[in-house]
Amino acid sequence: MRRRLCAAAVAAALAAGISAVHLIGGGPFAEAATGSSASVPSGVEVGVPGTAPTDPTGGAATGAAGGVATTARGTAGSPEQGVGSHVDAGAGVGPQTRSTPPLTGPLRALAARRGIAVGATVMTSSNLTDSGYSALLGSEYSMLTPENDMKWSNVHPAPGVYDFTGPDLDVAFAQSHGMAVRGHNLAWSADNPSWLTTVPFSRDQLIAILHDHISTVVGRYRGKVAQWDVVNEGIGGFWWDHIGPDYIDMAFEWAHEADPSAELFYNDFGAEGLGGKADQVFELVRGLRQRGVSIDGVGLESHFDLNPPPLGDIAANMHRLNALGLESAVTELDVRLAMPANGPDLDRQRGIYNDMLRICLAAINCKTFTTWGFTDKDSWIPSAYPGYGAALPFDQSYAPKPAYYGLRAALGG
């Protein structure tokens, strides 16, 4: 039986080397999820009406009671009535009224109450020197993903040469803020160093190189990284083409050997709902399970615009993954807007953040919910989608946007 810990105890536990895995998913947060106020972790007050953070868009839920999915995690938080909400009946998460005063406290404390970890990425460790950036990241979020520092081009710049400067800073920051770490990623077709991709290595040479990389990187952070994206967007691409599809089985086994306590994920985009690529990923992970490979979950990246996949499909996908005994994590959520962002679009964005978190809360196998960044100041969107941006819960000046309140409302805040 895993013990429940508050943030300070989490930091102490990490300092005492208690495995990071015990910090998320069914562990310390789960008990808090029974919804009884007795188990509300520290930092969360059952607010007296009027103490909830003022939501400038006034989106506090006011609407009709409805088919709220109640799970072991208590009632799903309050949706936004009419404001940007596009609740989909198929998702089993309907509109509801707010019957209790909004809870106060940072996102991470509200999420702990619901038995999940809310996470965000750090673009690179250099961002942590920005006090506004690090203060917001460390206070609001209970999980951190290095967005780039753990990628091959950064940690393995030359044959036999590893550079952990960036990831060490990210992990140390997480530990000092009682945050769990999500490692990203161990095998991907992009952001690989030229020494790897330009030399005609044989299959066996590449197997040895990948094995050494995974053992070295996972081994270094053993007990400090709770979840790993072992294979990222791995159907086709460099490793698939040069080793073969079985590189995936091998990668998971090597990661498991290097840290048996870490949860291991296959992570991909465009596979959040049903059909097409989602079915391809489902068949891939079902095959891994049938072959007894040590995989624990599937990461649903969730890089959306204002037309995400049907929520019912996302819920159904999480459900069928659960039937395979797999977790489903939201790993890279952002919702890009045409710039300059206008009021109605910001409200729609708020609804999508609210819906995605409630879908996760309603799914018994969704324990971690991560956004790909947290401030519009540091986001990959503008360079990848010219004319788009404003994809994250906080704006360029670290001020909360409607999307942030959509997340709070989903958690009862």
Q: Does 148 bind ligand G3I (CB under 6 A)?
A: yes
> Is 337:391 a contact under the CB 8 Å cutoff?
yes
Shortest distance, position 373 Cβ to ligand G3I, whole Å: 7
Concatenate the DSSP letters of all residues of 317-371 into one string: HHHHHHHTT-EEEEEEEEE-EESSP-HHHHHHHHHHHHHHHHHHHHSTT--EEEE
Tally of CA atoms within 13 A in the half-sphere of 178 that contains its CB: 17
Active-site residue identified among 80, 233, 301, 327? 233
By CB under 6 A, name the one of 124, 139, 189, 216 that touches ligand G3I: 124
Q: Which is nearer to ligand G3I, 123 or 330 (CB)?
A: 123
The residue from 253, 301, 327, 332 that is catalytic is 332
Amino acid (one-letter) located at 163: D
d(CA 214, CA 320): 29
Q: According to the binding rule CB under 6 A, does residue 336 interact with ligand G3I?
A: no
User: Is 332 a residue of the active site?
Assistant: yes
Residue 121 backbone dihedrals phi, psi, to 5 degrees: -90, 155
Q: State the minimum distance, in angstroms, from the CB of residue 126 to ligand G3I.
A: 8
Classify strands 337-338 and 388-389 as parallel, antiparallel or unpaired.
antiparallel
Q: Of 231 and 341, which has the nearer Cβ to ligand G3I?
A: 231
Q: Cis before residue 167, ω within 30 degrees of 0?
A: no
- In the complex, least distance from residue 380 CB atom to ligand G3I, rounded to whole angstroms: 3
81 part of the interface to ligand G3I, by CB under 6 A? no
Kind plus residue range of the DSSP H or E element containing 389: strand 388-389
* 247-258 vs 203-220: helix crossing angle, rounded to 10: 30
Among 190, 199, 208, 399, binds ligand G3I (CB under 6 A): 190
Site stretch for ligand G3I (CB under 6 A), options 146-154, 157-165, 239-247, 250-258: 146-154
Contact between 163 and ligand G3I per CB under 6 A: no
45 labelled catalytic: no
Helix or strand run (H / E) with residue 122: strand 117-122
Q: Which range in 145-153, 171-179, 248-256, 363-371 contacts ligand G3I by CB under 6 A?
A: 145-153
**Residue from the set 252, 282, 374, 380 that interacts with ligand G3I by CB under 6 A:** 380
- Give CA separation, 73 vs 42, 141, 208, 365, in Å: 18, 19, 44, 11
Which range of residues in 147-155, 202-210, 281-289, 400-408 is near ligand G3I by CB under 6 A?
A: 147-155
Residue type, 412: G
Judged by CB under 6 A, does residue 301 bind ligand G3I?
yes
User: Which residues bind to ligand G3I, rule: CB under 6 A?
Assistant: 123-124, 147-148, 151, 190-191, 232, 269, 301, 332, 380
Q: What residues are labeled active site?
A: 233, 332
